[in-house]
Amino acid sequence: MPQHSDDGCTGVRFADLIFLDEIHRTYDHPLRVRFVNTLSEIICRITGADSVTLGEVIQTLWSGYGVIQRAELRGSAALFDHDPFPTIVKHIDISHARANPRGWASDRSHQRKVFSYQVEQTFYEVFSTRCGERCRVPNFIGADELDSKGGWVIILSDLDFEGFGKRKQSVEQRDVRACLAWLANFHACFMGDAATGLWPVGTYWHLETRPDEFKAMPEGRLRSAAELIDQRLNSATYQTLVHGDAKIANFCFSSQGHERVAAVDFQYVGRGCGMKDFAYFISSCLSEQEAERQQDSWLDFYFEELQKGLAHYCVEVDFPALKSEWRALYPFAWADFCRFLTGWSPGHWKLNSYSEQLTTRVLEQLDEA
């Protein structure tokens, strides 16, 4: 519940008001009215809408750093194709550090999250218009920083309204194809990009940003080789933008039954080898047995789609050399992710026989070098 400051005013954080609105709908709390007016005014100012109807809270952000909720905009017909116009509002509250669900709370963790939301806004505002239909993302409508640098409000188009209303926890072959095609086209679109304003090295598990988890790793070959694995990936000749958190939960599937997807959550987008996204996606939706059995066929499919994407985006590149380099780096991408998991959550189910097999292959390769 809200805390009261010494001057008698109610000291309520913006995010607290959001939760009040959700949790206390059953009675007439004055703060709920104040919240609706405040957030509506911010959205109207950002978008130019005449009025806003706030909708359901879809989810809270990791570690309680805000919420994502729906909102409908009305008025200003020149700006919106529909009246009301459905949107997604992402409110980020960085006014203070939070506890981490897995116990990794620290100032470093807090600052990493703060920068990740800056990156996300930059991606949507600067980069997203280049994606197009082949690697669909929400359209950027507007954003603004809250007073006293307490966070941001980012307003995006509603993918559900645009025909991508399905979410999946288990996947069929066509679902995997759709997501890998999205990744291949995303990587093709941004091949060679300098990632200005984004993470210099993408993915949320990047070694340089995870020193606490590295310190928690047990002594052994993987810990000793962590920097070499990181260097091998970062020194790849062919670099693109990687999504950085390309798990199945961050893909929105077409409601029409077609093999089309859109992707969300670009907090950790940055420069890197495309195999990082590929390996992480596979880890999110295939069992260890499926991943091992289907490894080569899915890699073949991904590279076929990547080649098509490069042609579509008119990117001139030595494709055989790119394919050879990235395919050789596939086990390194797994080993890099396993390095993170070993420190962050040593009992994690993704540390299985398949991931261990690929990691062992990398360690043996480095021993021979």
pLDDT tens string 118-139: 999 999 999 999 999 999 999 9
Same domain? 57 vs 136 = yes
- What is residue 36's predicted lDDT score, i.e. its pLDDT? 42
1 lies in a domain? no
Residue ending a domain, among 93, 127, 157, is 157
Q: What's the DSSP call for residue 73?
A: E
Q: Per-residue confidence at 147, pLDDT binned at 50, 70, 90? A: low
- Least confident range from 86-100, 106-120, 121-135: namely 86-100
265 lies in a domain? yes
Tell me which residue has tokens 């990632």: 195
Residue 153 belongs to domain spanning: 8-157
User: Which residues are within 8 A (CB) of 169 and not within 5 positions of it... i.e. 6 or more apart?
Assistant: 248, 249
Same domain? 218 vs 365 = yes
**Which has more pLDDT, 84 or 332?**
332
Same domain? 316 vs 339 = yes
59 lies in a domain? yes
As a whole number of angstroms, the distance between CA 87 and CA 164 comes to: 13
Same domain? 131 vs 272 = no
- Least confident range from 61-75, 237-251, 294-308: namely 61-75
Same domain? 85 vs 169 = no
| Cross-strand pairs, 272 | 240
**Domain containing 326 — which CATH number?**
3.90.1200
342 lies in a domain? yes
3 lies in a domain? no
Same domain? 197 vs 260 = yes
Same domain? 145 vs 77 = yes
321 lies in a domain? yes
2 lies in a domain? no
**Which has more pLDDT, 65 or 310?**
310
Same domain? 151 vs 168 = no
Residue ending a domain, among 157, 188, 208, is 157
Average pLDDT of the chain to the nearest whole number = 86
- What is residue 152's predicted lDDT score, i.e. its pLDDT? 84
Same domain? 239 vs 264 = yes
**Domain containing 22 — which CATH number?**
3.30.200.20
Neighbour-count burial of 270, counting CB atoms closer than 10 A to its CB (0-12 exposed, 13-18 middle, 19+ buried): buried
- What is residue 87's predicted lDDT score, i.e. its pLDDT? 95
**pTM given for the model:** 0.86
Q: Total structural domains in the chain?
A: 2
* pLDDT tens-digit map of 4-32: 333 223 222 333 333 333 323 322 333 33
Same domain? 149 vs 170 = no
Q: Per-residue confidence at 100, pLDDT binned at 50, 70, 90? A: low
For the chain, what percent of residues have pLDDT higher than 90?
Answer: 68
- What is residue 204's predicted lDDT score, i.e. its pLDDT? 97
- What is residue 2's predicted lDDT score, i.e. its pLDDT? 31
The secondary structure of the chain in percent helix, strand, coil, rounded to multiples of 5, reads 50, 15, 35
Residue ending a domain, among 157, 172, 197, is 157
